[in-house]
Amino acid sequence: MKLALFDLDNTLLSGDSDFEWAQFLIAQGVLDREVYEARNLEFYTQYKAGTLDIHAFLDFQLKPLARHARVQLDAWHAQFMQTRILPMIGAPARALVERHRSEGHTLAIVTATNSFVTAPIAREFGVPHLIATEPEQSNGEFTGKVADIPCFREGKVRRLEAWLAAQGMARKQIERSWFYSDSHNDLFLMEWVSDAVAVDPDPQLAQVAQERGWPVLSLR
């Protein structure tokens, strides 16, 4: 098997879906702007600096899901896709995914952003496999907690390996693997694959890519 893995936020997307989802809910009046906007910006700054406490962030990000019925959340998400996400999907990102698809590679998006936010985005790209942080559910409704290991930093590797095991596969059976990412937070998974590609990289990743001779490309 040849495996093409894609980070989502600021890689396939020219923005961050996690950050934009909170901003969307603030704009809709679902979340209080004074309380949530500064906190959302704070977490985003921590992520870029590599200092994010993922559990504190998930507590912030997932609790609003538990306050509303799934049918209402799905209605908001449909609007979110149209107004916030589709404008962040460029032709080069679609072309990259299509190139790997045309070569018969197995495609997966591997993202720290929760699967409620990202599953419709993966479908928009036509990527059949999504490895994401999973919100806990009870009777089809969200509890506000996280299920399983957050798909973040080294957690991306652990979640990928668990996904492969569920497919009856092991790392040694993968003939070749690619991972595309913009973030130094993804170095764990970039070191796992045979072909790491830095996409519009942050300064820390750009330096590592230069030192290791990894290719750098832009999808903007």
Catalytic residues: 7, 9
32 Cβ contact partners less than 8 Å away, ≥ 6 residues apart: 26
Q: Which residues, listed in sequence order, are joined to residue 132 by a DSSP beta bridge?
A: 111
8 Å CB contact between 3 and 174: yes
Type of residue found at 212 = R
DSSP code of residue 16: -
Residue identified by tokens 């059976």 is 173
The dihedral sign for the CA sequence 135, 138, 140, 141: negative
Q: Rounded distance, CA 66 to CA 84, Å?
A: 22
Type of residue found at 139 = N
- SS3 (DSSP) at 83: helix
Torsion on CA atoms 94, 99, 102, 104, rounded to nearest 10: -110
Give me the phi and psi of 153, to 5 degrees please. Answer: 50, -125
Integer angstrom CA distances of residue 11 from 14, 30, 170, 173:
7, 28, 26, 27
